[in-house]
Amino acid sequence: MNESYICPWNIEDTFLYSYRCRVGDEYTESPLVVPNAKQNSLSINTPILLFILAYGWNIISYYTYLYVRRCKWLTIPNTPIHQKTIADISKNIVHFINAFVCVATMHPSILYVHDNQDAFHRQVVNLGILSSVAFYLYDTVRLFQRFQTANIAYIVHHITTVSWLYYAWIDYYRQLILYAVYLLEYSNFMLYVSYHILKAYPTHKLLQTVSECFQFVWYGYFRTIRLTIHLIAVRGVLFTEVFQSVPMFVMFGILYVMGLYWTYKLYCKCVRLLSVSSKPL
């Protein structure tokens, strides 16, 4: 593979992002990093840092649980709440925090404009990668500890995402992968909001219906439409280079099909909720 390969698309073509770096009044092309251009390596310090971050997520989970248990506005007013519900709400908040950290550190303004120019912004993205990897490893361990058949899909999702982030860490099509991860995490925001409403306010049926419908629109747009546009924009690189790696092809396929499946599930749920709410009392 030619390591001087220049990515041909730009923001005028896709209206989404650019692999070009702004320098003064002119644009200079930023090469799409190719395999073996390992600017980051898995040094002896990397597993130690991952362990520290994973332990940090464990601490965040613990104190979030305590906070939810003591915080009145997060639960149903004047109503006893089950301990499992508290655990579900706190776990959901921790997942939201992870998504927020991921989106904040992998925002296109950082990922595409600064990542190839500024060492500080590159380290911000690197920290976001390690934080997300630590979270998914931590959550995978928890899923195995409380294993149920329903957890299999989440375990596959977590392992696939960690593998994706590993490739991005070693600069294997870093920006292409991280922008996809950014869209995936961004699409999850309304899932966490709707889940919180469902658990914390189970008697507010109208609020649940509105949040579920908005969740479908939000998730379907970012996880299906925007991600599809992203993949179409980079189809030349995907099919001629990236998908030559079987693991990359499998990982892209798993996460993309999962997104389509959950979009369909949300659509069916919205239709069911709207049909129930439209029935005369």
Taking all residues of the chain, what is their mean pLDDT, rounded to a whole number?
A: 77
| Per-residue pLDDT, 239 | 78
The pTM for the full model equals 0.78
Using DSSP, state whether 20 is helix, strand or coil: strand
The lowest-confidence range among 166-180, 231-245, 254-268 is 231-245
Q: What is the pLDDT of residue 246?
A: 80
Distance separating alpha carbons of residues 269 and 275, to the nearest angstrom: 10
Of 130, 129, 134, 125, nearest to 94 (Cα)?
134
Residue type, 189: F
Mean pLDDT of 140-166: 88
Please write the tens of the pLDDT for every residue from 91-140. 999 999 999 999 998 887 666 655 455 677 788 888 889 999 999 999 99
Question: Which CA distances in Å does 265 have to 220, 272, 278?
Answer: 10, 11, 20
Residues 6+ apart with CB under 8 A from 131: 53, 98, 101, 102, 105
* Residue located via tokens 């990897």: 133
Angle at 11 between CA 114 and CA 108, to 5 degrees: 35
pLDDT at position 109, please?
66
Residue 29's beta-bridge partner residues? Answer: 20
Determine the straight-line distance between the first and last CA of the chain, rounded to whole angstroms: 66
- For 222-239, write each residue's pLDDT tens digit: 999 999 998 888 888 877
The confidence band for 88, taking pLDDT boundaries of 50, 70 and 90, is: confident
**H or E element that contains 19:** none
pLDDT, tens digit (0-9, with 9 covering 90-100), for 41-71: 545 577 888 888 888 999 999 999 888 888 7
